[in-house]
Structure 1
Amino acid sequence: MPESHIATILDAIFAHEQSQGDAIACSLLGRDEAVEQQCTFAELARGVRQLSTALREQVPSGERAMLALPFGIDYLQAFLACLHAGIIAVPAYSPRTNRQDDRFTAMMSDCQPIAVLCDKNDRDPIAAQSTDVRIIALQELRGEKSPNVICLAKPDSVAYLQYTSGSTSTPKGVMITNSNLVANNRAIRDAFGNRTDSVGVMWIPMFHDMGLVSGLQCLFVGYRNVIFATNHFIARPGMWFRAISKYGGTVTGGPNFAFQVCVDRIADDELDGLDLSSWKVAYNGAEPIRASTLDRFTERFGRIGFRSTMHFPCYGLAESTLFVSGGPAGFESPRLRLDRRSLESGLVLFSDEGGTGDTTELVSSGRPDPESDVQIVAPETSRVTADDQIGEILIDSPSVAKGYWNDPQATASDFGVTIPDHPGARYMRSGDLGFLHDGELFVTGRHKDLVIVNGRNVFPQDIEAEFEAVVSASVKNGTAVFGLEVDACEQVVVVAETSRGLYRDARHGDVEQLTNDIDTFRQTVWNNMNLHIWEIVFLRPGTFPRTTSGKIRRRACRNHFLAKSLDVIVRVPFKGDPEIVSPKNTREVPT
């Protein structure tokens, strides 16, 4: 089919059904690493049409259907069936237990789905989240119904809502159209150099934008994808390498933490007999990319065929469907050594131009997609900066979404932004800071207060609220959460103002109640957010950094924590009990 005739991703899939119907589209590996389920392009297409026919009897076109399915081929097929039926898909996950899942229920409350699609064994956990939604087991939709129905997917209609990995209290559903999805898949294909003889290997969750679009990229281009569940990778990261080696994987990747996990946890004897030389594109995105991780990965696994030119650092976000910049493939990614203090102040100062001597190495996130217009603007003036000047990253692209579902205020703030001297262009605010150097995009930080842990964006406000709800010695609006790099991994730190009661107890050596509260808090954060807390410090009353209007100064807390200039009363180390610290004599409040 000519490129110009592909208006939706379904057009591409149905074209592959005709041209290479017997070719394997997707193979699902089980816990034992054997193929558990497999389908050809023809089988996938027939399944999509059949599910679409059955769905139309229960969910009207234009309504929302939430996908709470296990990782696998059925997830992709159900997603595509929703698009085919003109139903807005909402990628989600199946709650683990019958207890309420705050994020899941917040998504449901925001998108108000007509139905939730699930596996027949997951009805009870979903019913525990809401009694007002229709729960449909995917197995019930399989049948003998005629799949000869017209495709209702339209280029400009909303295909799905991609919920950002953000606050549980205010989730944002990004409205991705069918044309957005096609444009982004074309950009990925061209940047990665993917072809019909490529082989994908994927384990990233399908409700994550990187996992979903990576899974769809294989179907768009027409190559085989070998997939296995995320928990298998977490339990045995060597499975990733074994799949690449066995099936000749050419394109596969994940967030930076995944590469670090491989360096730290794959034993030398697991490498015997493996061959990674088929790997062409090791994409790395969704969180800060660390030069040290790339170097250690290359050094550690060079003996089994990995080369530094396979690394493919990239940048993207859900509001641009996924991909914004990266590549070209097959080349070393440029790096810059910069003065760290200047960078934290918003200035680009090369190490050979002077500075404090405290330097850091930044890895390029590649060149922006040629169909995109990426501008760096000063947050204060919205004027475009010169090269090598840090500002907010703004994007105008056919991949940029329509906005946020049911949130016109946030849509107006972040989408359709105009900048001086660029008449007619409408940009999307990324919330990220960076600069351009020789046409390469370097991402330096986050304009928003997000903490990125293991590829997930974590809103500090969620952890702060949990802390103040559980820890009786806390002070309302007196908690700051931020991320901190520890051994090449992002960790979470909590800085809290001490209540007068805890201050008195600490002076008498009594922290028993605090110990119990901290244990409860850690367990709650792990259960709800799958996060470990690296360190907690309590400050002497009156010394917690705030603005003159009383707002929390998270960056000031982080800077003082790193400088060890906080007036700490109690310190709680990772997996340790509270330790009483002698307070400073100074009465000054950190600024």
Structure 2
Amino acid sequence: MTFADLLHARAQGPAAARTVFTALDADGSPAAELTAAELDLAARTLAARLRTVAEPGDRVLLPALPELGFPVAFFACSYARLVAVPTPPIRFGRSGADRYTRLVAICQDCAPAAVVVPEGQARVVAAAWADHPELAALQVVPVAGPVDREPAAVAAQRVDAEPAALPGAAAGPGGPELAAAAAQRVEAEPAALQAGAAAGPGGSEPVAAAVQRVEAGPAALPGAAAGPGGPGPVAAAVQRVEAGPAVLQAGAAAGPGGSEPVAAAAQHCEPMPGPDPAGPEELALLQYTSGSTTQPRGVMLSHRALLANQEMLRRHFAVEPGNTLVSWLPTYHDMGLCLGILQPLYSGAQAVVMAPETFVMRPERWLRALSGRPGAMTAAPDTAYAWCTRRTREAAKTGLDLSGWRVAITGAEPIRPETLRGFQSAFGGCGLPATAATPAYGLAEATLFVTSSPADAPPTVRSYARDALAAGRAEEAAGVELVSCGEPAPGVEIAIVDPATLHVLPPRRVGEIWVRSPANGTGYWGRPELSRETFDVRLKSHGRGWLRTGDLGFLDGPELFVTGRRKDVIVVNGANYHPQDFEVLATAAHPLFDGELAVACWTGERVTILVEAADRTDPGALTTAAAAAVRAVTAELPVDTEVVAVTRGRIPRTTSGKPRRHECARRFRDGEVPVLTRWPQRKRLPDTG
């Protein structure tokens, strides 16, 4: 079983015409939709194009495509037995020598055969990549754009009001609309069955023939009316495919400067009739890690691992067809891919997606997308909930109904108790259930999901003695508040291991988190030695099959508490400190630092805490804030500490927004980080110009 098999089955089933994906625009309004039948046909069509330039097992880059291009491209790879490689979006016009650093590194690592780009951008991409040999060698294959059509309810109203306005061939930017779609919308309204023709490069087709073909198979039923501007490119592709393969000639895809060069072999592609048979252990996905402590690595995930993790998610969170999963997370992030794209298709739920920048600019758009939806589910990192709390004004909460928000997964980074409390306080008045927040733990090397709190209970927060934690023991006492990440998913085993002796530690002892799961990856692409050290490791007295996560934590009863990353630990006088210990104290010490990104790192002589701040903040006020932060930290931690305020946006981050601590320390030591002020003022301030 693969995701292509699953999609094909849904497209042939009773829910073929049910909307699976809805994309929202920057204003939070529906901009595109795909039913299971439309998604299946679009994926089969793109799969046929991809198979003309790539062989089964080849890697294909999938940038974060606009709106609904990504699910089409991902499932097309599954159809064609190609390995999907999600990457950040293709950006143009940005200055700097590192514009293509990550993309080039991925190409050097996995040698992809092709890249899928939005329709209309192949020519621009080819020109921009001409000076980069690793990128210029890729076959550029366009995916059709979003389904630009109005909701079926609106279409029905328009049909009742003005049936004559629905001709058999409604022209649009991607070509004329298949007359069969119009016939389907008017539901046998005679005026809609006028003798128009769906024009294509190969000639025209009578409406009656189109109607007969519609009745023959559900895959050709778009199920909704075209908008005032005609159908968008994906809708047009869905509607035009059966009119003749000549319509899909790659050489005739118009670009900004005329016809656009697309993989020539993709001409005259019939949609694949169905998925190519694939074994469960075949590679389905290369999920590149975000690179918070190392260079990005491609985690090899099989069809078996992907499906196993989706079943864990479905069972633990009781996902049903009536649920709606709302996501703004990037599709190149494991949480965004697994929860925003794969789980809706796996469980039969509906998905509502929006661009990450929409959330960043107007976080209330995310809340609006969740408002009024019974059984709504979503996932985001801790910082996203904190961002919502800070940025959503009282006026924007008017009319918000969050009473149906059943699951709000929080993970991907340290989960802060103050974030959970602040979010509940900010939106409890909008009906947000106290049980919605659901802390969880996972990582790309295990596909995603490892542990989670119950979906129907408030989060568990416990306090542990700071000195004991520094010594590797978890003793309940006033000190450090930690959030429980819950119990392992069904079929998953957790062990806390001494990384030096490789012995399992008893409960409430801090060690490395090891995971044994059917969803574990098989290794890192092209790194056999590192793979042997990380995946399928033998644990004394517990056999093989364990994944070393590199994360630290402990078990308190059956619940997992995560304390940090092993590579981030700061050792001072034999005691272990986690960067978060310093960061939380520093940002809570003064209003100017509240909510700002902070990174603590060892800079050779002391712990340096870098805190981002606005450039225009009064220098004297910033110095006061830095001094307050130093006092707050040293009152709790017996470590020589300095606090440095730096320009916002200058702390290096991964593609998923996590701080790159070791790179941050290097840049600071090398004087590459613009300093606004510091305390104590031991040295002359570096030149910020």
Q: Indicate if the aligned counterparts of 2:645 and 2:675 stay in contact, CA closer than 8 A.
A: no
State the partner residue of 1:278.
Answer: 404
C-alpha change, 1:67 and 1:260, in structure 2 (3 Å) is same
Shift of 1:48: 1.5
Q: Answer yes or no: is 1:211 the counterpart of 2:331.
A: no
The runs of 5 or more residues in structure 2 that have no matched partner are 145-249, 251-265, 571-577, 588-593, 606-643, 684-689
Take 2:44 and 2:663, find their aligned partners in 1: how far apart are those partners?
53
Per the alignment, residue 80 of structure 2 pairs with 85
Does residue 1:110 correspond to 2:210, yes or no?
A: no
Aligned twin of 1:15: 9
For the residue of structure 1 that corresponds to 2:568, the secondary structure is coil
Residue from 396, 402, 419 that aligns with 2:539: 419
8 Å contact from structure 2 (residues 41, 271) kept in 1: no
Instruction: State the match for 1:401 in structure 2.
Output: 521
The residue aligned with 2:23 is 28
Long gaps (5+) in structure 1: 1-6, 352-356, 452-480, 499-517, 536-551, 559-567, 584-591
Deviations 1:334-374 (A, max 9, x none): 222101232133211110xxxxx5x0111110110120111
Rounded Cα–Cα distance in structure 2 between residues aligned with 1:293 and 1:284: 10
2:136 is aligned with 1:131: yes
Q: Which amino acid aligns with 2:343?
A: Q
CA distance in 2, matches of 1:82, 1:212: 14
Tell me, in whole angstroms, the C-alpha distance in 1 between the residues paired with 2:569 and 2:109: 21
Indicate whether 1:68 and 2:63 are aligned: yes
Aligned residue in 1 for 2:174: none
Q: Does 1:382 align with 2:502?
A: yes
Q: Is the 8 A contact 2:64 2:332 kept in 1?
A: no
Deviations 1:390-440 (A, max 9, x none): 1111111110001000000110110111111113x3200010111112211
How far residue 262 of structure 1 moved from its aligned partner, in angstroms, is 0.7
Aligned counterpart in structure 2 of residue 348 of structure 1, from 451, 474, 482: 474
Indicate how the Cα distance of structure 1 residues 32 and 64 shifts in structure 2: closer, same or farther if over 3 A, else same.
same
Cα distance between partner residues in 2 of 1:30 and 1:553 = 35
Among 484, 487, 495, the residue aligned to 1:364: 484
Residues in 1 aligned to 2:498 and 2:658: alpha-carbon distance in whole angstroms: 35
Shift of 1:580: 8.7
Once the two structures are TM-superposed, the CA of residue 233 in structure 1 deviates from its matched residue by: 0.1
Match of 1:39 in 2: 34
- Farther-moved stretch of structure 1 (232-241 vs 414-423): 414-423
Distance 1:283 1:402, change over 3 A: same
Q: Is the 8 A contact 1:113 1:133 kept in 2?
A: yes
Q: Is the 8 A contact 1:94 1:118 kept in 2?
A: no
Aligned-pair distance for 1:496?
Answer: 4.9
Query: Does 2:349 correspond to 1:223?
Result: yes
Partner SS for 1:118: strand
Contact 1:571 1:578 in 2 (8 A): no
CA 1:578 to 1:68, structure 2 compared with 1: closer, same or farther past 3 Å?
same
1:578 is displaced (CA, Å) by 7.2
Give the 3 Å change call, closer, same or farther, for CA 496–96 of structure 1 in structure 2.
same
Q: Secondary structure at the match of 1:382?
A: coil
Contact 1:493 1:533 survives alignment (8 Å): no
Residues 278-357 of structure 1: pairs in structure 2 closer than 5 A: 278-351=404-477
Following superposition, the deviation at residue 489 of structure 1 comes to: 5.9
TM-score when normalising by structure 1: 0.77
Q: For residues 193 and 101 of structure 1, do their structure 2 counterparts lie closer, same or farther at Cα, with a shift above 3 Å needed?
A: same
Question: Percent same amino acid at aligned positions?
Answer: 32
The structural deviation recorded for 1:128 is 5.3
Deviation at 1:527, TM superposition (A): 9.9
Structure 1 equivalent of residue 325 of structure 2? 200
Cα 1:284–1:80 change in 2 (3 A) is same
Q: Cα distance, 1:495 vs. partner? A: 6.1
Tell me which amino acid in the other structure corresponds to 1:83. Answer: S
* Displacement after TM superposition at 1:569 (Å): 12
Count of matched residue pairs: 496
Letter in 1 for 2:566: H
- Per the alignment, residue 377 of structure 2 pairs with 251
Q: CA deviation at 1:248?
A: 4.5
Answering whether residue 547 of structure 2 is matched by residue 428 of structure 1, we say yes
Deviations 1:118-168 (A, max 9, x none): 123351445554322222222446976233144243211010100000169
**TM-aligned CA deviation for residue 389 of structure 1:** 1.3
Separation (CA, whole Å) in 2 of partners of 1:81 and 1:232? 27
1:156-181: CA deviations, max 9, x gaps? 10101000001698321000100000
Secondary structure in structure 1 of the residue aligned to 2:488: coil
Q: 1:64·1:113 contact (CA, 8 Å) conserved in 2?
A: yes
Instruction: Tell me if structure 2 keeps the 8 A contact 1:27–1:225.
Output: yes
Cα–Cα, structure 1 residues 519 and 378, in superposed 2: closer, same or farther, change >3 Å? closer
Separation in 2, partners of 1:206, 1:163: 12
Pairwise CA distance, 1:49:
1.5
Correspondence for 2:231: none
What one-letter code is carried by the residue in structure 2 that aligns with 1:134? Q
Which structure 2 residues correspond to residues 558-569 of structure 1 after superposition, within 5 A? none
Alpha-carbon contact 1:395-1:428 (below 8 Å) kept = yes
Match of 1:57 in 2: 52
Higher Cα radius of gyration: 2
Q: What does 1:120-159 correspond to in 2, within 5 Å?
A: 120-121=120-121, 123=125, 124-127=127-130, 129=132, 130-139=135-144, 140=250, 145-159=270-284
Match of 2:289 among 164, 169, 179: 164
- Pick closer, same or farther for the CA change 1:447–1:38 going to 2, 3 Å: same
- Alignment of structure 1 residues 536-575 onto 2, 5 Å: none
Deviation of 1:13 after TM superposition, in Å, equals 2.4
Change in Cα spacing, 1:221 to 1:527, as seen in structure 2 (3 Å) is closer
Offset at residue 74 of structure 1 (A): 1.1
Question: How do 1:431-442 residues align onto structure 2 when only pairs under 5 Å count?
Answer: 431-442=550-561
Secondary structure of 2:284's partner? Answer: strand
Q: Name the amino acid aligned to 1:576.
A: L
Pair 1:219–1:402, CA change in 2 (3 A): same
**Matched-pair contact (CA < 8 Å) for 1:158–1:176:** yes
Evaluate the alpha carbon distance shift between residue 430 and residue 233 of structure 1 in structure 2; reply closer, same or farther with a 3 A threshold: same
CA spacing shift, 1:71–1:394, aligned 2, 3 Å: farther
